Amino acid sequence: MKRILLTMILIIAAFVLYGCSNASTSIIADEIAHEIDNGEIIIEHISGFYPHYLSIETLDMATNYVVQVEIIDKRTEMLNTWIIDSGEPIPSDHYRGYSPHTVHTVRVLEVFKGDVEIGDIMDIRQSGGQVGNLKVVNSNMIDFALGDELLMFLNPWGYPMNPTQSIYSLPAIYANPFSLSLYDEIGRFEDYSAPLESFHHGNDLVLTIGDLLQIAEDNNRR
């Protein structure tokens, strides 16, 4: 029964309200990690359910952050995805609502949407990973390499909106996309319609530099 409950919690973890970290929740997470630090490895297999976006416009409307980032660190930790308004964890039969998450720390390189600035540090969270003897295998989790530079559409708590549709590779030639008009003047680009490369091969959305410039303009980032 406990295993079933954990699986149900993890399936919707990416879109459940994640509260701000504080001293009490940090202590609880450390205690739980210690509790599961010994013994036989428990493996849980999950597959997250995410909204499927029909266009870049609908993806943008649901997104809080559209940022180009560099992966600078990676860790796995126990996070509570069932935090209520008071900040206290909702009781759970399995590790009090906590589950292993893989967290990639990133440096913001460019901002197209969202209340962040170039140089800010953010955490990108995904359900899955191993803490102690508890291992969660999330079929939708994407493991990034240190140094990767990617364009991401993120929700308020640092989860990709849909791992398949919300992560792209921004070519180095577009290092400063807000200066593309200058590049055009010297003939380096013919138009903005060339698609960016999706980080996931199953993505059916097409994102272009023109889309990014429109997103930036709509959100007063230009």
Give the model confidence (pLDDT) of 114-127 as tens digits.
999 999 999 999 98
Q: 139 is in which domain, residue-wise?
A: 2-218
Identify the three-state secondary structure at position 124.
strand
Identify the three-state secondary structure at position 117.
coil
Residue 203 has pLDDT above 80, yes or no: yes
What is the Cα–Cα distance from 6 to 10, expressed in whole angstroms?
A: 6
The sign one gets for the Cα dihedral 163, 166, 168, 170 is: negative
> Average per-residue pLDDT in the chain?
74
What is the Cα–Cα distance from 140 to 163, expressed in whole angstroms?
A: 7
Amino acid 13: pLDDT:
42
pTM for the structure as a whole: 0.72
Identify the three-state secondary structure at position 161.
coil
pLDDT (tens digit per residue) in 143-152: 899 999 999 9
Specify the number of domains making up the chain. 1
> In the structure encoding, which two tokens stand for residue 80, read together?
């509570």
